[in-house]
Amino acid sequence: MHLLKRARQTVQLSIGAVLGYFVLCVFFWGPGDIDIGSMMSAVVPGKIETNSKAAEETDARPPLEFKVTPSLGAVHSAPANSTFVVRVTLSTFESVVDDATTAEVWTDLGHGDTDRRWHSVEMHACSDASTTVVVRSDSDNDHARSRPRCFEARIKLPQIQTAFEYTARLVQLGSTEPFDVDADNIEKATVKVSSPSKVIQWLNKGDDAKNADVVVVDSNDSLPKSLKDLFNFHTSITFPAIDIPADSQILFAGSINAAKLTSNFLQLKVPNTTTLVLERRKQHWLQPAHGKNGWPHTAISMKKEVSFALWSIQSDASSDITTPPLFAVLIPTPPHVLAVTTNGYFGITPTHSAYLWPHEFKSNPVRAFVAVSRDPVAAVQFILKHMKANIPKSSVASLSKVVRHSLEDSANQTQSDESKNVVSNKVVPNNPVAAPASNPQSSVRFYDRLGWCTWNSLYQNVSEKDIVLGLNSFKDHKMPIDWLLIDDGWQNTDADKFTSFGLNAKKFPSGYSLIKKLKKDYKLSLIGVWHSLVGYWGGIHPESEISEKYPLRQLTRKPGYSEWYQHTLVVDPAAYPTYYSDLHKQLTDAGVDFFKIDDQSVFEASDNINSPSEVMSIYQDTLVRESKTRPVIWCMAHNMEVLYGTLLMRFGESVPSGQAPQRTMRTSDDFFPDVPDSHTWHVQSNALNTLLIGNLDPWTLVDWDMFQSDHAYAQFHAISRALSNGPVYLSDVIGNHSLSVVAPLLSADNRLIHVTGVPNTAPMPLPKSLLVNLTNGDGLLFVQAYAAGSHGVVLGVFNCAKIGTGKVSDSVILGRDVVRHGVDGWGSGKLAVAFYANLAGGAEEVDLLDDVPGAEILVSLGEREADVVTVVPLWKSAMSGVLVGCLGLQGKYYGVAGVRGIEFEDVKEGGIRVRLDAAFAGVYSFVTVQKGEKVGKVVNVECSEGLKKYVL
């Protein structure tokens, strides 16, 4: 009681001193019904010995366990004008708690500071009061945990700052004993009792248990200060908050501003918690890195530039298993990055090439954006939306025009000084515009069917002969290859420099005629080719057909930055659109349908080309125009110019109805078939990088790279590619193929089973997987794929631990971990849970879960193992009580992608009618549960493509 009085006396003067670190956690909440208490506090567990005679006679029944959330005996804080939720959970090792035992919450919060009469609060059953657990197991055993009883009081808080207390007690209904309200630490009150009850125990009694104190605060003014205190911002930085829509999942967002950059870091101190960053790996790629108690050692010792940072801002885990943690996401604006110092601080500092960026970028006072949410994806999307609005459009839209004119003027000047770096006197075309390709875009989309890339098969030794051998090998093994990507090795080069257009005559004696011949002989829908952004790895040969036709400039990369060529000749940017158009016109005239453009970070570290970022803009403008008529794969392109200039700024618009997106972005370094430790890391990198890259443009497909079907990690990769909703293509060594790995990717007519024509379908890692050291086996990687029209949830699960770790176990709690696109049930209260591994093995039954936030799925995976978990709601027949749901295509990795929409209805004559809009023809697996059954029976039905009706 004395603590409460002191809090009341000081609440107007020093709320921050009372709240401490907890202020930060709760201030992110705005008005509304919010479970503040369960977010912030640790559980205080306890035990109550039952009075049952049977329990006295035997040890069969253990004591009744309880927990109060938020805990008693502690000080909590909550924002004004919200709803404070107190939960009392009772459990035993038996299946259920006695229905006669219930809980009550009491509080002294009245209608004003003078009205402090204690009273009970209306109690409700918690939404997760009946939770079962499904376990991925090879056995048929039914694994389920005890079902606790949970009671919930929702206390509406006033709009003013104040303080109050609460406590809880357990009662047994139906008793004729007097109702006792005189507890040691509660004031006497007049209570109306609807039925005779017996007080089993006041839960504020015990060695350390006391009433809980709650301080109600105004969050609007204090949040920015609290966030500043956490970051330890430099005093010169302003931190304006950003308006957030009322229905947003964002709890707080702001921009980090500074008047100008100085020689010092704008220092921010990271919380002492696990962090995830995306840092630059060499020149071309982002890669994830984790820090256990601060920043990753690679970001400190190796001085990696960080483009993205995420961490949890809670001081401890929530006591409510259904409450997701809070995450802070920080993304610097171009041309800035995060750089970490050895003392644990990180600075928002210019990237190594920032001084070459346009003035509009450098003069922008916004250095970074930060957002806080229980859904990290929502935080990323919110930041990118505001970042796009903040970046001066003139810095992107007018770059090409401005730079082109300046380059034309420079190119036409007399080049008497050898340091000018113009090594060709060819005239730069006036106002060059890339001509449209003559080969119209095929109606077939390359990401709709399975492809073959020659890289890991043939590398730079690719030839006409070997391509034919490879295609024959696929045909002999009944592998339905529909398109071909001819990777590095087809061009005319000398000393790794591009010399002339056309296929290399020694390797491809048939020349361009080979393209159409391959399409005809092997029924290929599409053929694409690879090339570097600047022609080839070493650029353009100085004595070549290309140098004779197009003006060149010398590109000198900074010492120690380039891993290949420090001095490279490239086509003058002002002439690049014409060069690119001429090259692609030859190829498309021959029948080439799409392009993979590599080495797209080449200009970033240049030393001698004026404004390389602006030069890069001209090159990117050319690729963007190409992508409007045919597919383009951006590769080795994790630089700011591409990520923000192209994906965020140039793209992001809606694709017109009836058209498919033509742009694809590689999201990780290469698939390395002969590096054993690289495979789990490859999938992990793709998943975590997609958190940023997959949200830059809703219509850009993510490309998780090729893989080999006859490989120790073949299914591991196949599952990840299936759920990526991007292109899927093999790089099999000729003669080494596995149809059993490929078949679950494809429909009956050999189309890839995935979802297209819908924005934002890239898979996202679950929040629970973001701050876990997956390499050490501390957890499994859970990736949530787009669930199409199934109303369910699809999770890819991967054991990404290093070799030798062995089996790894982890779990997903649906209400806590699936924070976006959760199960959209039909009110039956039941879910069906299916594992691909079990269904593929011919399982005829699936497990059931209660449709509650606390429903939990446990998964154990051995080395190299991956699986797909499909959770779908069950519809209940009003006539028969039968439950039914649809798991999608039978025996497929991504079976629910075949369900564009589904409805159920009773049939008067008996049975259940299904209205299924199937994206693919094939056998669909349905789940039926008869009344009283504890498992679901799998029923397979042959279905046609399109909207049809079926009776089960």
The structure tokens 């009946």 sit at 130
Q: What is the average pLDDT score of the chain?
A: 77
**pLDDT of 449:** 95
Mean pLDDT of 167-187: 54
- Range name among 213-227, 422-436, 756-770, 891-905 with the lowest pLDDT average: 422-436
User: 3-state SS of 784-809?
Assistant: EECCCCCCCEEEEEECCCCCCCCCEE
- Range name among 564-573, 645-654, 772-781, 931-940 with the lowest pLDDT average: 645-654
- Range name among 345-359, 390-404, 878-892 with the lowest pLDDT average: 390-404
Q: Which residues pair with 596 in a beta bridge?
A: 530, 633
**pLDDT of 421:** 45
Whether 571 shows a pLDDT value over 70: the answer reads: yes
Q: What is the DSSP string of 892-949?
A: -TTGGGGEEEEEEEE-TTSSEEEEEEESS-EEEEEEEE-TT-SSEEEEEEEE-SEEEE
Q: Report the alpha-carbon distance of residue 822 to residue 871 in Å, rounded.
A: 10
**pLDDT of 324:** 82
> Nearest Cα to 372, choosing from 220, 239, 249?
249
Q: Is 374 helix (H, G, I), strand (E, B) or coil?
A: coil
Report yes or no: 384 and 419 within 8 Å, Cβ to Cβ.
no
> Nearest Cα to 72, choosing from 97, 29, 103?
103
**pLDDT of 224:** 43
Q: Is 633 helix (H, G, I), strand (E, B) or coil?
A: strand
**pLDDT of 556:** 81
**pLDDT of 158:** 84
Q: Which residues of 882-906 are buried (b: 16+ CB within 10 A; e: fewer)?
A: bbbbbbbbbbbbbbbbbbbebebee
**pLDDT of 310:** 92
Q: Report the alpha-carbon distance of residue 813 to residue 659 in Å, rounded.
A: 38
What is the band of 907 on the pLDDT scale with cuts at 50, 70, 90?
very high
Whether 28 shows a pLDDT value over 80: the answer reads: no
What are 416-448's pLDDT values in tens digits? Answer: 333 334 455 454 444 344 443 444 455 568 789
**pLDDT of 417:** 36
Stronger pLDDT, 353 or 634, i.e. the higher one: 634
What are 741-792's pLDDT values in tens digits? Answer: 999 999 999 999 999 878 889 999 999 999 998 999 999 999 999 998 999 9
**pLDDT of 652:** 61
**pLDDT of 162:** 80
Report yes or no: 216 and 222 within 8 Å, Cβ to Cβ.
no
What are 33-80's pLDDT values in tens digits? Answer: 323 223 223 333 343 333 333 333 333 444 566 778 777 876 666 777
What are 186-203's pLDDT values in tens digits? Answer: 433 333 333 445 666 787
Q: Report the alpha-carbon distance of residue 924 to residue 790 in Å, rounded.
A: 12
**pLDDT of 154:** 87
**pLDDT of 445:** 80
Q: Report the alpha-carbon distance of residue 275 to residue 292 in Å, rounded.
A: 7
Q: What is the DSSP string of 337-367?
A: EEEE-TTSEEEEEE-TTGGGS-HHHHT--EE
Report yes or no: 73 and 173 within 8 Å, Cβ to Cβ.
no
Q: Is 568 helix (H, G, I), strand (E, B) or coil?
A: strand
- Range name among 163-167, 497-501, 707-711, 900-904 with the lowest pLDDT average: 163-167
C-alpha distances out from residue 611 to 348, 604, 798, Å: 22, 10, 43
CA geometry: angle at 142 spanning 140 and 145, to 5°?
A: 155
Q: Report the alpha-carbon distance of residue 652 to residue 357 in Å, rounded.
A: 22
DSSP state, residue 439: S
DSSP state, residue 661: -
Q: Report the alpha-carbon distance of residue 159 to residue 142 in Å, rounded.
A: 49
